[in-house]
Structure 1
Amino acid sequence: MRKQATKSTRKEVLRRIAQMEQDLKDRHERELRELAGEAPEAEEITPEQLLAQMSLGSEKAAEPAEKEPVAKTEPKKKRNRQKERLAKREAEFKKLQQEAENEASVQPNLKELELKNIADLCTAARLVQHNITPDGHCLFASIADQLQQRHSITMTVQELRTRAANQIRSDPDTFAPFLFDEDKMEVRNVEEYTDKLENTIMWGGDLEILALAREFDCPISVMMSGRAPLRVNENGQQPELKLVYYQHVFGLGEHYNSLRDMV
C-alpha cells in the first residue's frame, strides 16, 4: 500500500496522522484530568491503515444504501360490539329458559292434581260428572243439565242467559258487588253488562250462579279442588243443583261440569 501512494499523498497522510495523534493525546490528557484515572495508551495509526480507512470509506460512500424492509403490519380486526351484545343476550335468555325449565320440572302437575282431587271428592260424595262442552256456555249448559236431572225442567242455554240477565236487572243493588271493576275502580253499568250476558257467549261465573239460584229458588253448590265447595242461596226451597269447577284442566281456562248422582 505504501509503494502505491504518491509523495503528495504520503505527506498529507503523515500530516493527518500527526494531527490525529496529537488530538488523541490531548483528549486522553483531558479525560485523565477529569476522571483522575489512568487511560490506556492510544494505539498508533500507521499511514497504511489510514489509506485503507480512506479507501474503504470511499467505497462505502459509492454504494447505494439498501433500504430496510418495512415490516408489514396486519390491520387490527375491529370488534363487532353489536354482535357481542346479541350473543350476550342470547346466552342470558338461554340461561333463564333453562332455569324456568328446571323450576317447572320440580313443580307439581296442577292438571293431574286437580283431576285426582276432584275424582276423589266425587267418589266420596257418590257423584259422577256429566261432561259439558268447554266453551263460553259451559256454566249455563251445566245448570240446564241439573235442572233437567233434579227439577225435571227443560231449559235452553239462551233461556237461562235471559233469566239470569232479568234477575240481575230486577235487583241491581244485590248484584252490585259482583259488578265492581277493579281495573277501573268503578261499578259496571248494569244494562251494558246484562245486555252482553244475554246476547253474547260471555262466560258466566259467581254472579250468574247466584242469579239463577234465586231465579229457581234453590241452592247451588260448586265442587272445587283444594277448597271447600261454594254454596249460594242455601235457603232455597227447591232441590240443590250440583256443579264442579275446573281451573287448570282445560286449555281455555275455567270450566264447569254437571254432577249427577251415582247410580
Structure 2
Amino acid sequence: MEERTVETAEDLLVKQHRKEKKDLQAKIQSMKNAVPKNDKKRRKQLTEDIAKLEAELTEKHEEEFRQLKSPSDSALEEVINGVETMKTESVEQDESKQPRVTKAQKRRDKKAAQEKERESRIADAEVQNLQGVRHQEGLKLAQKLAQQQLQIKEIPSDGHCMYRAVEDQLAQRSKPALTMSLEKLRSLTAEHMRSHVDDFLPFLTNPNNGNMYTPDEFEKYCCDVEHTAAWGGQLELRALTQVLHLPIEVIQADSPAIKIGEEFDSESITLVYMRHAYGLGEHYNSVERLKEPANVEDS
C-alpha cells in the first residue's frame, strides 16, 4: 500500500527555493548565451548582473525563512496550517480504512519518520546557513570579487593559510622564478623580520603584560614563523612584500581592501581575508579568474 508522508512547512519552502534556484540558473544561462564571448565590456556587466540576481534571490529566501519562523506571520501560518490539516485528514481517513498494522508496516513507518526527521534537520541547517555570518560574508566577498572577474579559491585551514594563499598566487603567474614553497616563504619572512628588527618589534607585545617583546621573545616569535604553523597576519604580509618585491592586496567583506607594499610597481598578489570562515575564526584564501557558470543541463 502506498505510504503517505506529511510535509512540513520547511519541506514545502525548501522545495520552492530549490525550484527558484533552478529557474534562476536557466535564466542566467539564457543571459550568457545572449552575450558574445568576445564582448568583454558586456561580459563584465553580465557577471555583475548575475551576482546581483543571485544576491536578490538569497535575500528573498532569507526573508521567507524568517517569516516562516516568525509567530507574527499569521497569514502564512493559516495557509500552512490549512495545507497540513488537509493532508492530516486525508491520512487519518486512509488509516481508518486500513486493517491492523503489521510489523512490516511498522518498520516502513519508522523508516518514513526517520527520513522526515532527516529532511527537517536539513531544512533547519539551510535556514541557519542562510542567516549565518559565514554565508553573509561569503556573499559580500563574491560580489566584490565578481567586479574584478575573480572568485575565491579555497585554501586549507591549517595555520599555514596565509602562506599557502601567497604560494598559490605566485604559482598562478606561470613564472618559475617567482614560484616558492610554503617552507621557503616562511623562512624568508622570518629572515627578513630578524634583519629588520626596528620595523617589526615595536608592533609586538606580550599578551600577558602588554609590554613590548624582549629580544628573546622576538627571536622566539621569528622561530615560530619559520618552523611552526603559527598563523600569519599583517606584519608577516609586510615582510613578504619586501621579500618578493610585490604589492599584496587583501580583500575583506565589510572593509575597504588593504594594499601593502604599494611602493612596488608590479601586479598585486590578491588574497581574501575572512573573519568567519571556520570555527577558529580568521582565515586567508587565494583568488582565481571567475569561471563560467555551469550549464543548466550539467547541474
Match of 1:158 in 2: 183
Equivalent runs, 1:51-62 vs 2, <5 Å: none
Unaligned ranges ≥5, structure 1: 1-104
> Counterparts of 1:178 and 1:144 in 2: how far apart (Å)?
25
Aligned to 2:245: 217
Q: How many residues of Structure 1 are paired with residues of Structure 2 in the alignment?
A: 158
Match of 1:58 in 2: none
Equivalent position of 1:255 in the other structure: 283
Find 1:147's aligned residue among 163, 170, 177.
170
* CA RMSD in angstroms, aligned pairs only: 2.0
Question: Given that residues 175 and 207 in structure 1 are in contact (C-alpha distance below 8 angstroms), is that contact kept between their aligned partners in structure 2?
Answer: yes
Whole-Å Cα distance in 1 between the matches of residues 285 and 202 of structure 2?
Answer: 26
Structure 1 250/208 Cα, relative in aligned 2: closer, same or farther at 3 Å?
Answer: same
User: Could you report, residue by residue, the CA deviation over 1:181-217 in whole angstroms, capped at 9, with x for unpaired residues?
Assistant: 3542222232111011111111111111110011111
Q: Which residue of 1 aligns with 2:230?
A: 202
State whether structure 2 residue 201 is matched by structure 1 residue 180: no
Tell me which amino acid in the other structure corresponds to 1:166: E
- The residue identity in structure 2 corresponding to 1:261 is R
**% identical equivalent positions:** 33
- Report the Cα distance in structure 2 between the residues aligned to 1:214 and 1:238, rounded to whole angstroms: 13
SS at match of 1:258: strand
Q: List runs of 5+ in structure 2 lacking aligned partners.
A: 1-127, 292-299
Provide the TM-score with structure 2 as the length reference. 0.50
2:193 maps to which residue?
168
SS in 2 for 1:248: strand
C-alpha distance in 1, partners of 2:167/2:277? Answer: 22
Which residue of the partner structure matches residue 114 of structure 1?
A: 137
Q: Secondary structure at the match of 1:190?
A: helix
Aligned-partner Cα distance in 2 for 1:121–1:161: 29
TM-score after normalising by structure 1: 0.56
- 8 Å Cα contact 2:142/2:152 also seen in 1: no
Aligned to 2:295: none
Q: CA deviation at 1:151?
A: 6.7
Q: Aligned residue for 1:190?
A: 218
1: CA distance, partners of 2:227 / 2:207? 24
Q: Which one has the largest radius of gyration?
A: 1
| Distance change (3 Å), C-alpha of 1:185 and 1:256 | same
Residue correspondence of structure 1 range 209-248 to structure 2 within 5 A: 209-248=237-276
Distance in 1 of aligned mates of 2:150 and 2:136: 19
Tell me which protein shows more helix as a share of its residues. 2
- Contact 1:140–1:157 at 8 Å: present in 2 too? yes
**1:135 match:** 158
Distance 1:249 1:185 in 2: 29
Between 187-196 and 149-158, report the one with greater CA deviation. 149-158
1 CA distance for matches of 2:227 and 2:195? 18
